[in-house]
Amino acid sequence: MENRIPVYQPTLLGNERKYVNECLDSTWISSKGKFIAEFENAFANYINVEHATTVCNGTVAIHLALLALGIGSGDEVIVPTLTYIASANAIAYTGAKPVFVDSLADTWQMNPADVRAKITPNTRAIMAVHLYGHPCDMQTLKEICKEYDLFLIEDCAEAIGSLYKNQHVGTFGDISTFSFFGNKTITTGEGGMVVTNNYYLYERATHFKGQGLDKDRQYWHDIIGYNYRMTNICAAIGLAQLEQIDSFLSRKIEIAALYKEAFKNSEISFHAEHADVNSSYWMCSILVPKPYQRDLLCAYLASQGIETRPLFYPVHTMPMYANGFAKHAVAEDLGLRGINLPSYPSLSNEQIRFITDAINIFIGESKSTTLSKHKVLDKILN
Ligand SMILES: *Cc1c(COP(=O)(O)O)cnc(C)c1O
């Protein structure tokens, strides 16, 4: 469709082209070159952390963070079930077991009371995931980690620009990760970052990232490492993206405000932003009142050229993690009623109006039609 509104698209209007051309002109296109260190330094500076190391995507960033902490077979890592699959898979890669916790109904973030309930003698770490750009309750999670002597990992893939009590997420835990996939707030195409204030963890992460190469001896490898390096080209794009982050974030916050305003008198609800957090609104997401309305609304919006995504399916419901008949009622409910709306910075106010009008019409229609969902669909699509 011609006027199709995607759920996300990157904005590449800064120095991306210039810096990438510098890579090409200089022939430094692989994982050595000046943009790697420049991007890492600028990034560490931006979130205010001691050490940052680039990697080739956000999934391996999490794997590397876990390896740096020495997590492996026999260990348990507590993770929210309502997250992107990569958070759980990276735990499984190490041989450790992901232990899922439910979400809070208001912020949609991991429930600290459930975290407490899931701690066993095998628990080594808690992985906080700042879902859709809203920070987790870091104070409580930090207290729990201290009390039980657990590592704290932050998966900040969706949360660059998010603050908890005016401190950037990713600086609360022992080690944290970011993603720069094409739909993330800043992108390098594929890419990620591991950050920490602990030099020892930084050293371990970079050692694993670079094939376990000995620092002082060429072609001597003392562990089974990985090639998780980012290219200079990706770092060049990342640096250019980071230069524009303030404008991306302020526009995303405006977009969230426009959505909230448009739905304030409707049955559509948003996740709550508590006073001590600043959400970066990676994805603006809504809940429809009834699960059956969700897919119907998405189909209707698709018919209008508006692309949406369902909220994540809780990971504990997927075949490879569905054992023990676990029930996470809040995450399951959110997963069935939630929709990600288009949320990219170059979205115009007119486009947002078009989207919110379409949603309000749908919700109004489906309310006045008290009969079956087939009727609703008939009425709306015909
Ligand atoms: C995007 C994302 C990742 C990592 O994704 P990559 O595509 O590998 O960069 C990890 N966790 C969460 C919560 C994400 O949204």
171: helix, strand or coil: coil
Same domain, 283 and 349: yes
Same domain, 352 and 211: no
pLDDT of residue 374: 57
Domain count, the chain: 2
pLDDT of residue 1: 46
Distance between Cα 179 and ligand 1 center (Å): 6
Domain boundary among 224, 242, 260: 242
What CATH number is given to the structural domain containing 153? 3.40.640.10
**Of 118, 110, 193, nearest to 148 (Cα)?**
118
Domain, as residue range, for 260 = 245-381
Domain boundary among 242, 264, 290: 242
Q: Which of 247-256, 269-278, 313-322 has the lowest mean pLDDT?
A: 269-278
Distance between Cα 24 and ligand 1 center (Å): 28
**What is the pLDDT averaged over residues 239-266?**
96
164 CB within 6 A, ligand 1: no
Alpha-carbon distance of 199 to 202, in angstroms, equals 5
Share of the chain above pLDDT 70, in %: 95
Residue 317 lies in a domain: yes
Are 297 and 277 in contact by the 8 Å Cβ rule? The answer is no
Same domain, 97 and 176: yes
Distance between Cα 256 and ligand 1 center (Å): 21
Q: Which of 134-138, 206-210, 325-329 has the lowest mean pLDDT?
A: 325-329
Same domain, 102 and 227: yes
Same domain, 276 and 155: no
301: helix, strand or coil: helix
Pocket test residue of 91, 179, 193, 230 for ligand 1, highest count of atoms within 8 A of CB: 179
**What is the pLDDT averaged over residues 144-154?**
98
Residue 3 lies in a domain: no
Mind listing the pLDDT tens digit for each residue in 88-127?
999 999 999 999 999 999 999 999 999 999 999 999 999 9
Pocket test residue of 82, 184, 186, 309 for ligand 1, highest count of atoms within 8 A of CB: 184
User: DSSP class of residue 317?
Assistant: G
Distance between Cα 320 and ligand 1 center (Å): 19
Same domain, 134 and 278: no
Same domain, 297 and 205: no
Domain boundary among 242, 269, 304: 242
Q: Which of 10-19, 44-53, 301-310, 370-379 has the lowest mean pLDDT?
A: 370-379
176 CB within 6 A, ligand 1: no
Same domain, 252 and 230: no
Instruction: Tell me the backbone φ, ψ of residue 233, rounded to 5 degrees.
Output: -65, -45
Per the document, the length of the chain is: 382
The ligand 1 atom nearest the CA atom of 62: 10
pLDDT of residue 253: 96
**Of 85, 89, 59, nearest to 192 (Cα)?**
59
Same domain, 151 and 261: no
Alpha-carbon distance of 310 to 216, in angstroms, equals 49
What CATH number is given to the structural domain containing 341? 3.90.1150.10
Average pLDDT, the chain: 94
Mind listing the pLDDT tens digit for each residue in 177-187?
999 999 999 99
CA distances from 263 to 108, 223, 294, 334, 355 (A): 19, 54, 16, 18, 11
Instruction: Tell me the backbone φ, ψ of residue 193, rounded to 5 degrees.
Output: -145, 145
Pocket test residue of 55, 108, 181 for ligand 1, highest count of atoms within 8 A of CB: 181
**What is the pLDDT averaged over residues 216-241?**
97
The ligand 1 atom nearest the CA atom of 179: 9
DSSP letters for 74-125: T-EEEEESSS-HHHHHHHHHTT-EEEEEPBPTTT-SB-HHHHHHT--TTEEE
**Of 87, 96, 101, 97, nearest to 327 (Cα)?**
101
pLDDT of residue 372: 54
* Residue 146 CA neighbour count, 13 Å, CB half: 7
Same domain, 320 and 212: no
Same domain, 50 and 167: yes
Distance between Cα 159 and ligand 1 center (Å): 11
